[in-house]
Structure 1
Amino acid sequence: MFVLDKHGRPLDPCHPARARRLLAAGRAVVIRHTPFVIRLKDRTRAESTVQGVAVGVDPGSRHTGIAVFTEHGGRRAGKYSLRLGHRGPAIRDKLATRAAYRRGRRSRNLRYRAPRFLNRTKSTGWLAPSLRHRVETTMSWVGRLTRWAPVRAVHVERVCFDTHALSAGRPLEGAEYQRGALAGYEVREYLLVKWGRICAYCGASGVPLNLDHIHPRSRGGSDRLSNLTLACIACNQAKNTTPIGEFLKTKPALLARILAKAKTSLRDAAAVNATRWALWRALETTGLPVHAASGGRTKWNRSRTGAPKSHTLDALHVGDLETVTTWPSMVLIARATGRGVYCRTRTDRYGFPRLRLPRTKRVKGFATGDLVRAAVPSGRNTGTHIGRVAVRSTGSFNITTRHGTVQGIGHRHVRLLQRADGYGYTAEPEARHRATFLIGSEGPGLHAEGS
C-alpha cells in the first residue's frame, strides 16, 4: 500500500496488514480508495528512513504493464503491479465517425464555405491520437506513482523488437547482447508474437515450438524473417526438407495463408517502436533517471527467473538485473474509460434526435463513473454493492460491480468512495505458473514450454 507522511510527501510502500493496523489505531487516514493510499497523522518524512523504489514500464499496443519494486544489488522485489488498459481502438473509431460526419457535411447543399487547405500542419514528433493516448495515459500513471511513492528511477522498454537485430546477412557490430546468452532472442520473440505462439501448420498451442524454414535451408532457403515460422515438433519432423508447396498441396487455403502472413512487413513493429520512443522522451522530461532496454532482454530476464509471461511481470524484468525475489500476488487492472461526452443528444440511425440527456452530469451529488458503495437493506437488491455508478435524473442509479450490473438502487443508499478519474478498476491474481524458454541444440530452434 502507498503511504504518505502527514504533509502528503511519499514514504516507502508498506504491507496491507500494516496499513490495516495503522488505520485501526487511528494513526492514518485513507486518502484514496483505488489504488489504496493512506496518510500518516503522526510522522513526517524527516522522521522516517526512505529507501526509495523504482518503476518498470512495459509498453504495449492495448495494455501497458507497470511495476513498482525495490532494487538492491541487482535483486528486485516487486511491491505493486498495475496493468493499464488503453482505449486506442475506441479513439480510432470515434475519429472515423467524426470524419464521416465531416464528409457528409461537405456533400450537403449548405451555405457556401470556402475550401480550406494547408491549415492543418503536423508538428515534429506527431503521433496519431490513438497512439498519443498510450503515451499520455502512461505518463499520467507514472506521475501518480511519483506522488504516492518515492520513485528514484524508471526502467522502460524503449523498443519492443530491435529491427537492426532482425536484419539478416551480416553480424551485428557493437551490439554486445547479440553475443552469448542473448543471441537470437529478438528474432525468436518477434516470431512468437507474429504467429500467435501456435504451430503454423496444425494450430497446436501449449506445446514446444521450433523455428521452421518455410523454404528449406538445404534447398537454398535463407534465415530472413519472411522465411521463418513456428512449427510443433511433429510438424517440423514431418515437413523436414520438403518444400512447403508439396507439404501442403492438399491444403491450398492453409498454404496461401502461411505464405501471405510470412510476407508481412515489420510495419507493426515499427509503429510500436515509434510509440515507445515517444514515451521514453516523455519520461526523460520528468527529471528522473530513465534506463532503457529492449524486449529481447526482458524476455531473457524472465527465462532466467522462470517468471510467466504477463505485462506486469515484463515491467518487473525490464533492464539489467540479477534476479527477482518476489512479485505481488494481485494485479490492479486500470482500464481507460474516458470522462464522458459533450453531446447531450442521442440520435437514431437516420440522424434524428431520439433522446435528450440532462445538461448537468451530477445528480444527487454523484456523477457517472464514480466509485461508490451501496448498502441496500431490503428489496431485490439487498446487500452491499461496490462499483462504478451510472446516474439517472430520477435518483435511481445503476452500479456495475465485478459480478455484473445492479439496476435500480436509490441514491439514499449510495456512499461515495472515489470520484471518477477516467478509469475503471478491477483486480485479478497474478499468474504463478512457470514458463520455460530454451534454446534448441540444433540451429535456431525454439522450445516454448507452457506457451
Structure 2
Amino acid sequence: MSKIFVIDSEKRPLNPIHPAQARQLLTSKKAAIYRKFPFTLILAESLPEVPVSPLRLKVDPGAKVTGIALVSDSTGEVVFASELNHRGFAIRDALTSRRQLRRGRRARKTRYRKPRFLNRTRPEGWLAPSLQSRVDNIKTLVEKLRRFAPITAISQELVRFDMQLMRNPDIEGKEYQQGTLAGYETREYLLEKWGRQCAYCGVKDAPLQIEHIHPRAKGGSNSITNLALSCEKCNTKKGTKDIKDFLKLDPSKLTKILAQAKKTLADAAAVNTTRFALLNVLKSTGLPVETGSGGLTKFNRSQQMLGKTHWLDAACVGKSTPVLIIKGIEPLLIQAFGHGSRQSCRTDKFGFPNRHVPREKIHFGFQTGDIVKAVVTTGKKIGTYVGKVAIRSSGSFNISTKNGLIQGISHKFCKRIHAKDGYSYAT
C-alpha cells in the first residue's frame, strides 16, 4: 500500500510510514490528521532528531495526464504515486467561448470601435493559459509534496516529439530520420493515438503492426495521418485494399477510423511547448534535477516488465531508476478543476444574459469545491456521502460522490474534510 506522510510538530517532513503504524499513532492520539489529500499526519509532540531517508520525485509530464511518483533511490520502493489530470483543453474551450461572446457584444454595442488586437505585448517565456495551467498544476503538486516528504532530488522526462518529421518522414536529413528516436516517437505516438489496440478489430494485448490506411501500393504516404495500428490478422486480410473497400460492410467503423486518423497532434504539441518551462520551474526549487528521454523511460519499464500507466512511467524516468518495488501501490487520482469563474452574469448559447451569479461565495461555513462528509440520519436520504459540495444560500447542498450526484443535503449534516484547492481527489 502507499505509505502515509508524517510531519513533526514543527511541520518538518519525516519518513513516510505504513498505514498500520499510522492507525496506531491515531488510536493512541500521538498524531492527528493534518491533510486528507494526500493523507498526512502531524505528530502531537516534538521528537529528537530522527534520521530521514531521502526520496526522489519523478515526473512524467503529459498533455492530459501527468504521472508523479516518489521513489527511494536506495531501496527502489515506490512510496507514493499519483496521476494528475489537467484541464488545459477545458481552458482553451472556455477562452474561445469568451472571445466569441465579447466579439459579438462589441459588434452589437460598439460597431465602429477601433480594433484592439495588435496593442498587446507578451513577456518573454509567455505560454498560452491552457499550457501555463499544466505547468502550474505540476508546480502546485510538487510544492505540496515537498512540504510532506523528504524530497532531495527530482527527475523529469524531457521528451521531444519532432512534429515535422512525424508529419513528413521524407524531410531532408536522412541520417536523422533513420535514427532510433524517429521510430520510437512514431510508434509511441501511434500507440497513444489508437489506444494500444487494433484499429480494425479492437484486439488488445497482442503484437501490433504499423499499417497504412491508404496503401503505399496505391499512392499512400508515410505521414502520421495515414498510419494506424493493426494486428497481424487484420493487416494480412486488408493487404493492399483501400480502407473504403475493406470496411464497406461496416460504415460506422470506417467513419470512426478516418476521423481518428485526422486527429491533430495537439497533445504532442502541448508537451513540446511546456517541457522547458516545466524544467525551469523544477530547477527553481533548488534541488538537483535529472532529465531522461522517453526512450529511456520505456526501456526501464520494459526491463522490469511493468504495465503501461502514467505513474509507472513516472517511476521509470531517468538513469537513476533502481529495481522498483511497487507492491500494493494505488495512485492518488487528482483532477484539476480550477477555482471557478469570475463571470458575474451567465449567458445562454446565443450570448445573451439570462441569470445572475451571487457574489457571496461562502454559506454556513462552506464554499463550492470543498470536500465534505455528510452523515444523514433523517429523511429519505439516510446514509453517508463523501464528495465535492456545491453550496446554496438556502443551506440545501449538492454532493458529487463517486456514485453520482446527491441533491438536497442539509448543511447541518455536512462536515468539511478538505478545503477547496481547485482539485478533486480519488483513489
Normalised-by-shorter TM-score class: 0.7 to 0.9
Alignment of 1:20-419 (within 5 A): 20-44=23-47, 47-72=49-74, 76-110=76-110, 113-116=113-116, 118-159=118-159, 161=161, 170-171=174-175, 178=180, 184-212=183-211, 229-238=228-237, 243-245=240-242, 249=245, 251=247, 268-320=267-319, 321-349=321-349, 351=351, 353-419=353-419
SS in 2 for 1:355: strand
Q: Is the 8 A contact 2:217 2:240 kept in 1?
A: no
TM-score under structure 1 normalisation? Answer: 0.81
Deviation for aligned residue 1:183: 10
Q: Deviations over 1:327-374 (max 9, x none)?
A: 553221111112122234334445554433332111111111111122
Separation of aligned partners in 2, 1:382 and 1:263? 50
Residue pair 2:64, 2:267 contacting (<8 A) in 1 also? no
Secondary structure, counterpart of 1:191 in structure 2: helix
How far is the alpha carbon of 1:233 from its aligned partner? Answer: 1.4
- Quick one: distance in 2 between partners of 1:89 and 1:222? 30
1:116 alignment partner AA:
R
Q: Deviations over 1:86-138 (max 9, x none)?
A: 11122111101111122113312438644435321223332211111101111
SS in 2 for 1:10: coil
Task: Tell me whether 325-334 or 409-418 shows the greater mean CA deviation.
Answer: 325-334
**Structure 2 vs 1, CA of residues 415 and 204 (structure 1 numbering), >3 Å: closer, same or farther?**
closer
Paired with 1:345 and 1:244, the residues of 2 have a C-alpha distance of 56
Q: Distance in 2 between matches of 1:258 and 1:42?
A: 62
Question: So what's the TM-score if we normalise by structure 2?
Answer: 0.85
Contact 1:214 1:244 in 2 (8 A): no
Query: Structure 1 counterpart of 2:234, which letter?
Result: C
Native 8 Å contact 2:165 2:182 kept in 1: no
Q: 1:88 to 1:266 in 2, by over 3 A?
A: closer
* Residues 303 and 367 of structure 1: CA distance in aligned 2, closer, same or farther (over 3 Å): same
More divergent stretch after superposition (209-218 vs 305-314): 209-218
**CA offsets per residue over residues 287-331 of structure 1, 9 Å max, x none?**
111111122221221111121111111111111224212255322
RMSD over aligned Cα atoms: 3.3
Q: 1:48 Cα deviation (Å)?
A: 0.7
Residues in 1 aligned to 2:262 and 2:345: alpha-carbon distance in whole angstroms = 47
Bigger strand fraction: 1
8 Å contact kept, 2:373–2:417: yes
The 8 Å contact of residues 78 and 329 in structure 2, kept in 1 or not, is answered as no
Whole-angstrom CA distance in 1 between matches of 2:317 and 2:52:
23
- CA drift of 1:266 comes to 6.2
Seen in structure 2, the aligned counterparts of structure 1 residues 394 and 52 have a Cα distance that, compared at 3 Å, is same
Give the distance between the partners of 1:214 and 1:385, measured in 2 at CA. 49
Q: Say if 1:346 and 1:353, in contact at 8 Å, map to a contact too.
A: yes
Matched, 1:19 2:22: yes
AA aligned opposite 1:370: D
Residue 165 (structure 1) shift: 9.2
Q: 1:341 to 1:326 in 2, by over 3 A?
A: same
Secondary structure at 2:233 match in 1:
helix
**CA distance, structure 2, for counterparts of residue 109 and residue 346 of structure 1:** 18
Give the deviation of 1:85 after TM superposition. 1.2
Please give the alpha-carbon distance, in whole angstroms, between the structure 1 residues aligned to 2:231 and 2:415.
55
Structure 1 stretch 119-128 or stretch 250-259: which is displaced more? 250-259
Distance 1:78 1:19 in 2: 18
Give the deviation of 1:204 after TM superposition: 3.8
Give how far 1:194 is off.
3.5
| CA apart distance, 1:235 | 2.8
CA distance in 1, matches of 2:330, 2:118: 51
Do the aligned partners of 1:162 and 1:294 also contact (CA within 8 Å) in 2? no
Q: How far apart are residue 196 of structure 1 and its match?
A: 3.4
Q: How far apart are the structure 2 equivalents of 1:217 and 1:345?
A: 55
The sequence identity of aligned pairs, in percent, is: 47
For residues 191 and 171 of structure 1, what CA distance do their matches in structure 2 show? 22
Is the CA contact (8 Å cut-off) linking 1:214 and 1:243 kept in structure 2? Answer: no
Are the structure 2 counterparts of residues 327 and 153 from structure 1 closer, same or farther at C-alpha, using a change threshold of 3 Å? farther
For residues 214 and 414 of structure 2, the distance between their equivalents in structure 1, rounded to whole angstroms, comes to 65
In structure 2, do the counterparts of structure 1 residues 425 and 266 end up closer, same or farther at CA, with 3 Å as the change threshold?
closer
